[in-house]
Structure 1
Amino acid sequence: MVFSAPASRSELAEINITPLVDVMLVLLVIFMVTAPVLSRPIETMLPQAVPPVKPVEPPNDLVLRVDLSGTYTLDDRPVTLAELRTRLEDAHITDPRTVLHVEASDGTDYQQVVSALAQAEASGVSNIVMRN
């Protein structure tokens, strides 16, 4: 038994696209209304490029030794008390951050150390470190 459609009824199966067009038009209107709302600019703070930092050079270090005999050596060079002031002034002019390390031998006369510190202060060197 074969089923067949009667020849008198020749209905064609067509898709009704009217509802589809209606839905598409409604979606188009919705997207047109919401698109400007979604494309607002966002206020942000972006990181800025930092210029490279040049390396800082360490300050000039000088070592002043006061011996038992009262002799002064500045960076292993013997100096007199008068020369000490001029050398420290030159070092201070070259680098104002100059650090003077003062070392005194055990039993050194206190007056010799105080005289050296007075010359250092008179020369303008303000960074003085006392060491053993």
Structure 2
Amino acid sequence: MAISSSSDSDEVLSEINITPMVDVMLVLLVVFIITAPLMTNAINVNLPDTETTVKIEEPKKPLVLSIDAEGKIYLDKDEYSLEIIRQELESRKAADPELRLNLNADETVDYGVVAKVMVLVEKAGIERLSVVTEAGS
């Protein structure tokens, strides 16, 4: 009497069982969550009080030069005309030789206005100019 197999095809079953892999990953995640706070190398020490030897100065905030959609120019929150802005920048540069300037220009403002303002900044002797933008997605 001949014994026959119920499956006549020789196909290989090629499915990956990911359940054990997910189980291992979840166990590892739990282990890392529990052990991460314990791995800090900080030792609690009561430090002695002493007198200050050198005072570290906080960095100064940069001056903000803004141009809105209508082309109005603002230095911090004060509005200036294009003709007066150079004198104001020169006086602030004279008061602070390390003056830093952030330029915020609306994306709809005419490029010519932004270019004129940048030339005035250069003529005022300000060398530290940052053009501020927003990171797109």
Instruction: Give the TM-score range, shorter chain.
Output: 0.5 to 0.7
Q: Give the TM-score, by structure 1 length.
A: 0.57
Matches of 1:60 and 1:97 in 2, distance apart?
Answer: 11
Aligned position for 2:60: 59
| Identical aligned residues as a percent | 29
Letter in structure 2 aligned against 1:124: G
Matches of 2:58 and 2:90 in 1, distance apart?
Answer: 20
Matches of 1:60 and 1:95 in 2, distance apart?
Answer: 12
Aligned position for 1:77: 78
Deviation at 1:60, TM superposition (A): 5.1
Aligned position for 2:129: 128
Deviation at 1:107, TM superposition (A): 1.3
Aligned position for 1:97: 98
Q: Give the TM-score, by structure 2 length.
A: 0.55
Count, aligned residues: 82
Matches of 2:82 and 2:116 in 1, distance apart?
Answer: 8
Q: Which has the larger radius of gyration?
A: 1
**Segments of 4+ moved more than 2 angstroms:** 51-60
Deviation at 1:81, TM superposition (A): 1.2
Matches of 2:53 and 2:89 in 1, distance apart?
Answer: 34
Letter in structure 2 aligned against 1:120: V
Deviation at 1:97, TM superposition (A): 0.9
Q: Which deviations, in whole Å up to 9, do the C-alpha atoms of 1:46-72 show, x marking residues without a partner?
A: xxxxx9323235235211111121110
Matches of 1:123 and 1:52 in 2, distance apart?
Answer: 37
Unaligned runs of 5+ in 2: 1-51
Which SS does the other structure have where 1:102 is aligned?
Answer: strand
Matches of 1:79 and 1:61 in 2, distance apart?
Answer: 18
